[in-house]
A and B are shown apart, each in its own frame.
Chain A
Amino acid sequence: MTDTSLAPDILMDVADLRKHFPITSGFFGRQTGAVRAVDGVSFQLRKGETLGLVGESGSGKSTVARLMLRAFPVTDGRISFRRRNGSVIDLAKASGPEMREVRDEVQMIFQDPYSSLNPRLRLLEIIGEPLINKGIAKSEIEDRVGELLKLVGLRPEFMSRYPHAFSGGQRQRIGIARALAVNPTFIAADEAVSALDVSVAAQVVNLLQDLQDQFGLTYLFITHDLSMVEHIANRIGVMYLGRLVEIADTRSLFDKPRHPYTEALLSSVPQPDPRANAAKKRIILKGEIPNAAKPPSGCVFHPRCPYATDLCKQVEPVLEALPSGNAVRCHRAAELDLAGVR
């Protein structure tokens, strides 16, 4: 169960993670192919940091988060996780009983605050459910749920109400309280503020940051909103078609992206600044993200890449570590001078 050791400041080490969903057809459900949703992703999560994960729909960012929580089996790869007691466990291979223990320490917040809360349960049951499962006394659970509600900025009296009585932002706070109920060390937030209005999203993001300071939480923050991720993340991973194409500290990624896809993403975001938009030369990518069941040859980004060469069409690049600790998956990373947002 414990295999590799982790450096003291690392909470999680994901190595060559893969998830292939089978495509079946015919009467007997013969497997005729596979959607390579996640195809060789490696990164490390440092204790107490926020790692942003960005990319278009279909890039596999949500699948990575779900694999880290073992929401479904891992096809291949390793997820070393340092438990609170100091031992290291490979979540990719952990058995059912082992996983049940670890689930206290890894939690998730979902995108849609309307579908992620059971409408038939009161907040007491929604937030207290993990505690009920642990066999904690009812009176104690009520106290704890009251505390959790206060922690996320809601009133303890709310615990006897049902989710329908709350707005989107309040529901997202309820989802956060539920994730915090078991004292996790790691929370994956999958598009946690994407469905919220701007003024409400800002409140929830501030709450997440306060909780991180208070409890030393480590976040994986998945989003397609680049300005939000720039605000909240210490480091950012950019995903494209199941692969991590670049991972860098936030400042370098926005100042000087190293991968052409990152450059295109940054240039596509319309800014709340009309003059800057008019002055900016946008890189409009052709087409859309390809089918993950039939990825292109060579570098998977080459059909849309403005800098692609013959080499890119034939040979797939590897994620290469740079001296700065950042990493990029591009043949031409060293020679290209790409534009950031500053």
Chain B
Amino acid sequence: MAGENPKPIIEIENLKVHFKMREGVVKAVDGVNLSLMPGEVLGVVGESGSGKSVTVRTIMQLLPKIASIADGKVLFNDNGTTTDIAKLAKNSRDMRALRGGKIGMIFQEPMTALSPVHTIGHQVMTPILLHTGLSKREAEQRAKETLDMVRLPRIEEMMRSYPHQLSGGMRQRAMIATALACRPKVLIADEPTTALDVTTEAQILDLLKELKRELGMSIVFITHNFGVVADIADRVSVMYLGNVVETGTTEDIFYDPRHPYTRALLNSIPRLGAEKQPRLNTIPGMIPDPYRLPAGCVFNPRCSAATDQLCRTTYPGITRINDHRMARCHRVAEAVATESIAP
């Protein structure tokens, strides 16, 4: 993990992303704070609709047309210069230089993320030709090195292959190669193993861990699978309904979760080899309609610890539990306050 208080490579501050729909405005991301330290893997977990994908897509300025950044900063710190990505225009020169250059991204479905009518070689070379001054021949060499780096076999043949000729796991490797072609500082991985079988998933997770070490990059890893996040992440942010409810080291989140939502989620997943329980624990109710959000803390209707005075009336602020832990919960704030009074 990171050394003595280095500057985060990506800092998201109070980010708000709104979607203008026919029925009204959906606050898909509503005040998110996240930071990615150099060389770490930050896991972002949450259920569908929690805003995890929208949050990280903002880093790449890959939002749909109906979405707009309503507020907040997305700071990218590189070599002493700081860029606020949220202020950059989608198609500006600076943004295009970052996207695919300094910041790479991999997706869930390699079949839709890769072009079906271009060869793998072409698709790995394209970002190199766009972002570096290399000649075509040098770019080809770099592309081959990248394919080798993601452990693809028969490189020469692979350069000339089309995505449909590859198996699911190999396609995922090819997509990772396109993202890593320019040796990015930051890799954004949006559910990259969700569509894969467990044995292939294990291969890809191992590959990403090795590549992180070899290239010294930082990874934002989005998933809804707690097993995957426990395996790959150094720190974890848990999202619910447009906001981060808890951030901490992976150990903290899994062995000492503080937010009631994190606790309930971890309780509801069956664990391999655990003593058999007659019923699974569930979280009562369901994720609310984004047009009719509950007053106060958005989790309060499903929360077992919610109180009438605070939780149902006031949106909770951020409580810093210690240097690397935060939660957005009135009850955690109360607990932390009593702890600090009576040490």
Contact = CB atoms under 8 A, between A and B. Distances in A.
Interface of A: 56-57, 167-170, 197-200, 202-203, 205-206, 209, 224, 226-228, 230-231, 254, 264-266, 268-275, 277, 282, 284-285, 288-289, 340-342
Contacts of A341: 272-273
Interface of B: 47-48, 167-170, 197-203, 205-206, 224-232, 250-251, 254-255, 264-266, 268-273, 276-277, 279-283, 286-287
B343 to A, nearest CB: 28
A224 B197 CA distance: 8
Nearest to B234: A274
A274 B197 contact: no
Nearest to A289: B197
B201 A231 contact: no
Contacts of B232: 270
Contact of A270 (B48, B200, B205, B264): B205
A198 B272 contact: no
A95 B225 CA distance: 45
B42 to A, nearest CB: 14
A219 B206 CA distance: 35
A56 B271 CA distance: 20
A167 B289 CA distance: 10
A198 B198 contact: no
B282 A203 contact: yes
B270 A268 contact: no
A203 B270 CA distance: 12
Given A199-B282, A231-B280, A284-B203, A224 B266 contact: no
Contact of A198 (B197, B226, B230, B277): B226
Given A56-B197, A197-B287, A288-B169, 12 more contacts: A57-B197, A168-B48, A169-B286, A198-B47, A205-B280, A206-B279, A269-B272, A270-B201, A271-B231, A272-B230, A273-B254, A282-B206
Given A199-B283, A284-B203, A340-B273, A273 B230 contact: yes
Contact of B280 (A197, A202, A285): A202
A167 to B, nearest CB: 6
Nearest to A57: B197
B251 A274 contact: yes
A273 B225 CA distance: 12
A78 B75 CA distance: 64
